[in-house]
Amino acid sequence: MQISNSTQDNCPSWGKLIVLTGPSGVGKGTLVQVLRQRHPELYLSISATTRSPRPGEIQEQHYYFVSRNDFEKMIAGNNLLEWAEFAGNYYGTLRLPVEQKLAQSKTVLLEIELQGAKQISTSMPDALRIFILPPSFSALEQRLRNRATDSESAIVRRLQQAQIEIDAACEFDLQIINDDLETALHQLETAIFG
């Protein structure tokens, strides 16, 4: 089911879509986790991915972990609001749950990669798109290395991709530097709740 902009315009109680993106390791997940603890009414869309689960990640809580073949079927069936290939894996947002929550006047958070965020600007132009920046590129590299979840080659790929993503930050409605967690959270809360 695809809801057109005209349907949104005719629905006075239509919810709010917030898109958060930024390079891998910038702290998007931590910001979202604390934001949701403070505001449990926010709905976090769970993405589908073809990557393997990291230690501690739970199916349908952190991601929908699916095969590459199943993901490609979702693309072909237009079952994704957005999707991207990043670091050799697919990531995407299931269309139906997001549209259902928006129709229920919920504020929906999408924590997604740059390619997907750009697709959202076309498919849902009313979305508020926020880019999370690191305090510096060297700080980002240190964060990636400290989390110890990726191989050296994966870290190098993520850093190369990070530079491309950071260069696109100006295309977003708002840029927030995640240097101090409380400051970044306050800026997010102001953007979401006014």
Q: Scan for tokens 């693309």, then name that residue.
A: 75
- What six digits make up the tokens of 170? 């100006």
**H helices then E strands: how many in the chain?**
8, 9
pLDDT at 6: 43
Range of the domain at 139: 15-193
- Residue 7 lies inside a defined structural domain of this protein: no
- Residue 9 lies inside a defined structural domain of this protein: no
- Residue 6 lies inside a defined structural domain of this protein: no
- Residue 40 lies inside a defined structural domain of this protein: yes
- Residue 80 lies inside a defined structural domain of this protein: yes
Q: Scan for tokens 């006014």, then name that residue.
A: 194
Nearest by Cα to 128 from 14, 16, 32: 16
pLDDT at 12: 52
- Residue 2 lies inside a defined structural domain of this protein: no
Counted domains in the chain: 1
Distance CA 126, CA 4 (A): 12
- Residue 167 lies inside a defined structural domain of this protein: yes
pLDDT along the chain (194 residues), means of 10: 43 82 91 96 95 93 95 95 88 92 96 89 90 93 82 87 93 96 96 92
pLDDT at 32: 95
User: Checking DSSP bridges between strand 47-49 and strand 89-94, what pairing results, if any?
Assistant: antiparallel
Q: Residue 113 sits in a domain of what CATH number?
A: 3.40.50.300
